[in-house]
């Protein structure tokens, strides 16, 4: 049996192993503010949630403090990636995307296309996302759909410690810019992770549970909420097939054929807001490519189309939970039975 470590430790280990293997890999970190006055103070502590603790002293000169300027240090990382280095820069919260969007949207994502495939930009931007820490509207958003919409970017949202390590190593070795999204509520999650170096390929569906009545599709932290709902449904004699998705643009025909042989009812779960989201994209893609396999309307379980509230009670209502998924499942199963 593999040893168990946390999601947080898995990311730290992936960074350390890749920096040890390849001296072109470095980590660019935004200093948190006035409390961190000396170089390395923030990263030696490990940042806002301790993910990179210890790397500054393990790799002198390759874990860099940056000023409070996302436009500056993300731009520097993009430039470094075009010059043969493999930077990993951290956008502390995905909510700060607006501060550096031009560097990613108009520069990193476009270089391969603008220069006829001759330019590579092996940049990884790590960022935290998601609600649940009572951090309110400016530190809790799900902006995965924003990144996925941009051609030239690869978007990764690991849901387990095993995936976090393997996907981050894969991201660092990839020659295209990767947005690596880490849900804040997953950092303490424990799971089996091999000590050796390994990669998890991009773009493959991960089937977690089989079932006959409904298919649940989701990603990131919502995988665990969907599995909780599936376990509850099993006790009610309804079974759910659960699988995690890659960005829809990279889904394979094999993933679709495995998913839609059975069952013919679909619920898509996404913590993001519903308009133009991953949930709507997945729903549209399934309706386009597998409409004949569906026996009822597709249901989405998402956050409402509002900013994340600060009130504890309202935030709990805002985030999709197992009860909401179970209600959606009962709705699609009833619709499928009525259509049969």
List the catalytic residues.
139
DSSP-based three-state secondary structure for 301: strand
Are 63 and 26 within 8 A, CB to CB?
A: yes
The DSSP H or E segment spanning 179 is: strand 178-183
CA 311/CA 337 separation, integer angstroms: 40
Residue 244 phi, psi (nearest 5)? -95, 150
| β pairing state of 190-192 and 154-156 | unpaired
- Class of residue 151 by CB neighbours under 10 A (exposed 0-12, middle 13-18, buried 19+): exposed
**Alpha carbon of residue 142 to chain centroid:** 9
CA 145/CA 151 separation, integer angstroms: 12
CA 283/CA 286 separation, integer angstroms: 5
DSSP-based three-state secondary structure for 279: helix
CA 238/CA 73 separation, integer angstroms: 50
> Of the candidates 67, 49, 150, which has an alpha carbon nearest to the alpha carbon of residue 103?
150
């Amino acid at each position: 049996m593999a040893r168990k470590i946390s999601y947080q430790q898995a990311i730290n280990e992936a960074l350390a192993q890749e920096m040890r293997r390849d001296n072109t890999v470095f980590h660019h970190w935004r200093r948190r503010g006035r409390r961190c006055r000396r170089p390395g103070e923030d990263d030696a502590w490990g940042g806002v949630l301790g993910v990179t603790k210890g790397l500054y002293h393990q790799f002198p000169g390759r874990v860099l403090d940056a000023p409070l300027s996302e436009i500056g240090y993300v731009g520097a990382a993009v430039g470094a990636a075009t010059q043969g280095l493999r930077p990993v820069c951290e956008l502390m919260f995905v909510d700060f995307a607006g501060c550096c969007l031009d560097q990613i949207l108009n520069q990193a994502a476009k270089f391969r296309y603008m220069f006829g495939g001759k330019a590579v930009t092996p940049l990884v931007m790590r960022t935290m996302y998601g609600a649940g820490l009572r951090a309110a509207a400016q530190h809790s958003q799900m902006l995965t759909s924003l990144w996925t919409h941009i051609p030239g970017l690869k978007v990764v949202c690991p849901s387990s410690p095993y995936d976090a390590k393997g996907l981050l190593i894969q991201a660092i070795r990839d020659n295209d810019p990767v947005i690596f999204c880490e849900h804040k509520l997953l950092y303490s999650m424990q799971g089996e992770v091999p000590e050796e170096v390994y990669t998890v390929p991009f773009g493959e569906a991960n089937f977690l549970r089989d079932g006959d009545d409904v298919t649940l599709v989701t990603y990131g932290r919502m995988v665990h909420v969907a599995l909780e709902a599936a376990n509850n449904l099993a006790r009610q004699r309804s079974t759910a097939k659960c699988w995690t998705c890659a960005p829809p643009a990279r889904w394979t025909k094999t993933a679709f054929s495995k998913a839609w042989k059975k069952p013919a009812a679909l619920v898509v779960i996404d913590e993001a807001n519903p308009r133009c989201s991953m949930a709507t994209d997945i729903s549209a893609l399934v309706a386009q490519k597998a409409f004949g396999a569906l026996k009822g309307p597709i249901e989405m379980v998402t956050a409402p189309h509002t900013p994340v509230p600060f009130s504890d009670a309202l935030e709990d209502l805002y985030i999709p939970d197992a009860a909401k998924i179970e209600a959606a499942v009962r709705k699609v199963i009833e619709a499928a039975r009525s259509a049969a």
